[in-house]
A and B are shown apart, each in its own frame.
Chain A
């Protein structure tokens, strides 16, 4: 198993380097550069000003030189300096990462837990009103754009009922500590986490339902029934366990996007996370910052793929580590 992991990590590093080079050129294909953006926002900028900015950012160097310097930095674990925010990229990302992990992690847990639960229920009561309700709701949340769900949730729970805060990570200026702080952050977390959660929950519910119905028809389930096992044991131990494999695959893929996947939700809820950082870096052509976020996201995806493979094995012991 150790050699399997080591091999996968070595491959991941090669993939990561290839991604960096690819991203480096992709970003520079977009029109406009950070100097123009900054001049634009200042509402003034003469040639001297633009030249000063470009020189400061190293944008006056030829592209291969810029790439060389960047990759050299990455290899020494230096993600570079953000043009616009005047801070090391690593610092900026580390500042934002906890907020995003909290948000997407919560959403992921909610969606996986309730998605599998509702999917199993729908399969168990296939064809009844409970199944129909779950399936229809899942379809609706799957098909509705996230930002719209977010806005509707804000209108209902923040504006109309005034139960939950509509933006931010905590109540600014309240200076809560201890439990009060935890509860405050939790209150801020409810709407954005549920918004993202609902979408993925719908996916998992639909997948679990379909997969369970499929497994239900297989011979070993008939055998279990013939053995006289109770229905709930059959569903839990024989059907669900087998039906979960495709759900784990999907969850593994989605876990990889947890870091960068919440751009819209973070924007609507003013959540100070990494999705927003990436989006703003893109709009401002903050090359180093954007590349930095890409690197971190890519690394996460690769890590989650590895974790998924390991989880596979514990869910289904028949799967072996091939070397």
Chain B
């Protein structure tokens, strides 16, 4: 109980201090935001596309939310305890939460959601491997029992990773063809109202939301605008108020930031922390040679890429973990831009001018320019690079089938090395057919052992040591060439207040946002 008292007094001080600075949140208003590309569905338990998560984060909820420091916050669970041995997690659910159709949200829904997501949600399936059983002793209590302590477990309850789905709608039906998929029903602050394909998605305020006094905003329109330049114009002409991260080309960001009444923030990506790197094919060709891979790291001017291609946004990556996620260490070998050293290493590696196929990421102009810049860097030290043009499906196939030498990518890290980092380096993840595993084909028994131990080590301090060691080894081996910790700035009218309050940013919904009139 003392924990809750502290929380409450903290909340009180926060409220008082904001009240002193400005008048409190105002109710009412409409927000126009951009969604890109158009989501295929809003049923986030079945479909986990980026745009789906962004809109559905308003409709559905997870048991927990996460602060920018990735500490768990109450969501559909109002409190939780972890047993001393790290194996039992007990969640108390909020009282009075209901689904949008009026049915109460209970522990039975949680049990059902776990079974549902194990069948439909690739990432949840992976996150739940250590789960032994889950039980509901009463309507508002859920107990998760693990096979062994699993440090990242407390980090898997966010709405995109483990959304709660309504049992009374899906139980006993074919999940994928349930007609309710087109009219999603969640517990979240906003309810689905209308979707005109190709034009907009409309959400309206949930009047019975379980957090009293929220949400403040009445309606949200998500506009589908396929062209990046047209999205900038829609903002410039005042037709939309919110451009979520990544919705305009990076080179438009400085211009838009200078517009009147415009606020820009890089916050809200702490949980995902998109980490970009070049996949180097470790199986064959020059990139199979460790010295050659190190040479690549020295040859690429990553600071310049950050400043020129990304307008100074983001951070040069030091290794496999981003600096915002748990157990990051900067105490690793460094690779500063040094073409002379790169040339020397190429000579040592015995590189004799073989042609390397490089795949840019087909996600728009910014990525194309970045690839051109890297090609220039590599040509400068004498590496023969050929650019391979693809569209998105082609890229997915080439990467999944290991048909490349160097390929651009970026992946989310989900706050913990066990959730979003290890998958790219452990050898059990080498499998053809998916672009989200160990595509480079790196295999090192020591790394396999460290990541296996790190996931289940207990207590957390022990995990830190293990991951520090793993990061050091990986940076020495350069299985992939780490580039940048990306930052996708969110651009809004300054009158839209309190939009980003947690580590998952806009994906956490407009629950706390309000509009200053």
Q: Which residues of A contact B (CB under 8 A)?
A: 30-34, 36-50, 56, 84-87, 92, 95-96, 99, 151, 154-155, 158-159, 162, 165-169, 172-173, 267-270, 272-273, 276-277, 280, 283-285
Contact = CB atoms under 8 A, between A and B. Distances in A.
B223 A270 contact: yes
29 contacts: A32-B391, A36-B397, A37-B393, A38-B49, A40-B396, A43-B48, A43-B412, A44-B123, A45-B122, A50-B433, A86-B181, A92-B197, A95-B197, A154-B233, A158-B237, A159-B237, A167-B223, A168-B200, A168-B225, A169-B199, A172-B32, A173-B221, A267-B226, A268-B227, A268-B230, A270-B199, A270-B227, A270-B234, A273-B198
Interface string B331-357: 000000000000000000000000000
Given A38-B40, A172-B221, 12 more contacts: A32-B392, A37-B392, A46-B434, A47-B433, A48-B125, A56-B176, A85-B197, A92-B197, A158-B237, A166-B237, A269-B230, A276-B226
- Residue of B125, B230, B237, B394 contacting most chain A CB atoms (<10 Å): B230
A205 to B, nearest CB: 29
B414 to A, nearest CB: 9
Given A48-B125, A166-B237, A272-B197, A43 B50 contact: yes
A168 B223 contact: yes
A40 to B, nearest CB: 5
Contact of B233 (A37, A56, A166, A284): A166
Contact of B436 (A43, A84, A95, A173): A43
Given A30-B394, A39-B396, A49 B226 contact: no
A285 B30 contact: no
Contact of B393 (A33, A159, A165): A33
Nearest to A83: B40
A265 B425 CA distance: 44
Given A40-B396, A42-B48, A86-B182, A172 B199 contact: yes
Contact of A167 (B234, B393, B395): B234
B393 A30 contact: yes
Contacts of B392: 32, 37, 40, 283-284
A283 B391 contact: yes
A30 B395 CA distance: 11
- Residue of B40, B236, B397 contacting most chain A CB atoms (<10 Å): B40
Nearest to B272: A43
A46 B40 contact: no
A173 B30 contact: yes
Interface in B41-77: 41, 47-51
B508 interface: no
A155 B237 CA distance: 10
Contacts, number: 162
A280 B400 CA distance: 22
B198 A277 contact: yes
A26 to B, nearest CB: 15
Nearest to A86: B41
Contacts of B405: none
B198 A96 contact: yes
Contacts of A166: 230, 233-234, 237, 239
Interface in B208-236: 219, 221, 223-227, 229-230, 233-234, 236
B411 interface: yes
A88 to B, nearest CB: 12
B229 A151 contact: yes
Nearest to B400: A36
A176 B123 CA distance: 44
B122 A46 contact: yes
Contacts of A49: 122
Contact of A32 (B40, B181, B230, B394): B394
A46 B423 CA distance: 11
Contacts of B394: 30-32
B197 A167 contact: no
B122 A48 contact: yes
A159 B233 contact: yes
A155 B233 CA distance: 8
A46 B182 contact: no
Given A31-B398, A37-B392, A42 B49 contact: yes
A270 B226 contact: yes
A154 to B, nearest CB: 6
B485 to A, nearest CB: 16
Contact of A280 (B196, B226, B395): B226
Contacts of B244: none
Contacts of A45: 122, 434-436
B264 interface: no
B431 interface: yes
B38 interface: yes
Contacts of B227: 267-268, 270
B126 interface: yes
Leading 4 A-B pairs by shortest Cβ distance:
A32-B393, A272-B198, A41-B49, A42-B48
A280 B39 CA distance: 12
Nearest to A56: B176
A163 to B, nearest CB: 11
A44 B49 contact: no
B397 A32 contact: yes
Contact of B239 (A151, A165, A268, A285): A165
Contact of A50 (B38, B239, B393, B434): B434
B26 to A, nearest CB: 19
Contacts of A87: 182
Contact of B199 (A46, A151, A272, A284): A272
Nearest to B423: A44
B393 A31 contact: yes
Interface string B390-421: 11111111101000000000011000000000
A154 B225 CA distance: 14
Interface in B184-212: 196-200, 202
Contacts of B125: 46, 48
A284 to B, nearest CB: 7
A62 B181 CA distance: 29
Nearest to B362: A283
B37 interface: yes
Contact of B37 (A30, A33, A46, A280): A280
Nearest to B123: A44
B225 A270 contact: yes
Contacts of A47: 431, 433-434
Contacts of A283: 391-393
B48 to A, nearest CB: 4
B305 to A, nearest CB: 22
Nearest to B390: A31
